[in-house]
A and B are shown apart, each in its own frame.
Chain A
Amino acid sequence: MADVVHSSIETISLAEARAGVVEGRLSAAALAEEHYKRIAAVDPEIHSFLALTRGRAMAQAEKVDAAVKAGDAVGALAGVPVGIKDVLTVKGVVTTAGSKILEGYRPPYDATVVRKLEAAGAVVLGKLNCDEFAMGSSNENSAYGPVKNPRALDRVPGGSSGGSAAAVAAGLCVASLGTDTGGSIRQPAAFCGVVGVLPTYGRVSRYGLIAFASSLDRVGPFARSVEDAAVMLEVLAGPDEMDATSSHAAVGGYAAETKKGVEGLRIGVPEEYFGEGLNAEIRAAIEKALDGLRAAGCSIHKVSLPHTKYAVPTYYVIATAEASSNLSRFDGVRFGLRSEDAGTLAAMFRNTRDEGFGAEVKRRILLGTYVLSAGYYDAYYRKAQQVRALLTRDFVQAFEKVDAIVAPVTPTAAFKLGEKTDDPLQMYLEDIYSVAASLAGICGMSVPCGKTADGLPIGVQVLGKHFDEATMLRVGAAVEGLGNRD
């Protein structure tokens, strides 16, 4: 890319990429080609992509270049190279959800979010690795092998959207799509030092998302800056007649919001998120961010979210119960793997699921089936739904006093590959600061805010009211600005 841009391909922002394409300084085709070259050079080590969609990408890039040349209007993502988490369908492109049970599956339709990205001019480079059916916090549950953290190759990138975070961090795509059921966007964003946004439940269509836990699953963007993530969200948000849970709430001008500043905003700090177990460097980084927000004109208020300690137990009842139901569709009949040599239908179901599912997916199906089974439903599932109501009320009450909440994303920075794989409960506790927002349905994001002494990225979590991504993004942009001044 001889003629080019102010920054190199590894760090180019969405805004720079689009401007280069729209102003004719950069062709979308060359930009895609450069990214494929970098993927070929770097990704054998990182392993963030599971499939490349070169034909589709180059056709789209040429279409964008032709439109620019003809002087036609182009979209908000014209020529921007993106990657798609492998739990989202792309028509005719192998989509596995990181599972062997869907090896080779080519979906017959595009997810709405993929259709929207392409309609806005984005160039889909390929499908990104993830934990199997988005179940995991380290990307080590992918049937196709783990992703490595590009900032430290002996560390996990986080999960379940590990490939989506790693690819953006490693300069393999400018932005990406992930999904978040209990922290799967925010935690990998924090571990890899990129921005990740969890939109409000209902804000973004889930048509074409392979379901894990339907009352929790959400789709959201990863990007290199808050503004870039805001541009992505603006494209993704809005109602979809193919998803009955998508909301008609008005979509904001999110990119413009990020430039509004934060003067006068009330920031809540939940004491329950700063207790024992929080790494000292992360605590210090967040306190520094809070000082910066105060200096920028925010007022800082202690708030209480008293049911926080029950969030992980509640989450692992509700999420697994819903998963046990959603994953019953994988039976070897209509798509994906079918076990050979089963004499009867029942044996075919069982053998297919035994061969096709990994250990963590089986564990969660068993747990979910157990909590829904006769005699246990009230004690677990109904109880968890009641605690979920209390957790949600905590946030609603806190947001009567503050405009946004600032907290850690994770108790520690990225841990080592293999460090937690033997102990599922330890892995579940990784979600301690992220699952409450998932259960409550509020919006949240992770913004990079400094590094540990070992050079590992630290993320700060900004939580906003239901459907108030605008305020959340303003606070996120302010936090990001503080980091940039260091």
Chain B
Amino acid sequence: MGEERLAVSVEDVRHVADLANLELTAEELPRMAKDLNAVLGYIAQMNELDTSSVEPMAQVGQALGLKAAQGGETLRADVVKDSVDRALVMAEAPETDGRFFKVPKVIER
């Protein structure tokens, strides 16, 4: 890392957009490349810090060494309860037969 300057190309943005299932227009691509370079350049400040001996922190409770209950890591009683109403869930789907979500063809023949 160190001194290395990152330059995100339009091609890189296209690749990342692909990974993220985003379709970007020809106008959006260079704009996003410019913005990503600006933000990543700023983010690179983190490299001034030596973190080789620092444990990564994924969750607040973990970092504090909280007791499980304080950190929320508890299990509820294993009892059957009402769930969200299926009919209400399916009613929000763009296309459904009431039991399944319908989508365009996945496999071409």
Q: Which A residues fall within an 8 A CB radius of B?
A: 92, 105-109, 201-202, 215, 239, 241, 243-249, 307, 309-310, 312-314, 316-317, 324, 328, 331-338, 342-351, 353-354, 357, 359, 362-363, 365-367, 369-370, 373, 379-380, 382-390, 392, 396, 424-425, 428, 440-441, 466-467
B5 interface residue, CB < 8 Å from A? no
CB of B18 to closest CB in A, whole Å: 9
Partner of A348, one of B1, B55, B88, B103: B103
Report A-chain residues with C-beta under 8 Å of the C-beta of B94: 332-333, 335-338
Considering only CB atoms, which chain B residue lies closest to A314 in the complex?
B46
User: What's the Cα separation between A324 and B36 when bound, in Å?
Assistant: 14
Report B-chain residues with C-beta under 8 Å of the C-beta of A248: 69-70, 72, 74
Q: Known pairs A363-B35, A367-B36, A390-B51; list 7 more (Cβ under 8 Å).
A: A108-B88, A244-B73, A345-B105, A353-B21, A366-B13, A387-B46, A424-B35
Considering only CB atoms, which chain B residue lies closest to A388 in the complex?
B57
User: What's the Cα separation between A241 and B72 when bound, in Å?
Assistant: 9
Report B-chain residues with C-beta under 8 Å of the C-beta of A347: 104
User: What's the Cα separation between A333 and B21 when bound, in Å?
Assistant: 14
Question: Is the beta-carbon distance between A380 and B43 smaller than 8 angstroms?
Answer: yes
Task: State whether A350 and B58 are in contact (beta carbons under 8 Å apart), knowing that A246-B72, A313-B43, A363-B35 are contacts in the complex.
Answer: no
Report B-chain residues with C-beta under 8 Å of the C-beta of A328: 20-21
Residue interface bits B26-70, CB-to-A below 8 A is 1, else 0: 001000100110111011111111010011111111011010011
Partner of B23, one of A317, A337, A353, A392: A353
- A-B complex: 9 closest residue pairs judged by Cβ atoms: A441-B60, A385-B56, A338-B94, A108-B88, A386-B51, A389-B57, A248-B69, A350-B23, A354-B23
Question: Is the beta-carbon distance between A109 and B84 smaller than 8 angstroms?
Answer: yes
B7 interface residue, CB < 8 Å from A? no
Considering only CB atoms, which chain B residue lies closest to A349 in the complex?
B21
B98 interface residue, CB < 8 Å from A? no
Question: Is the beta-carbon distance between A369 and B19 smaller than 8 angstroms?
Answer: yes
Question: Is the beta-carbon distance between B51 and A201 smaller than 8 angstroms?
Answer: no
Question: Is the beta-carbon distance between A106 and B92 smaller than 8 angstroms?
Answer: yes
Report A-chain residues with C-beta under 8 Å of the C-beta of B20: 324, 328, 365-366, 369
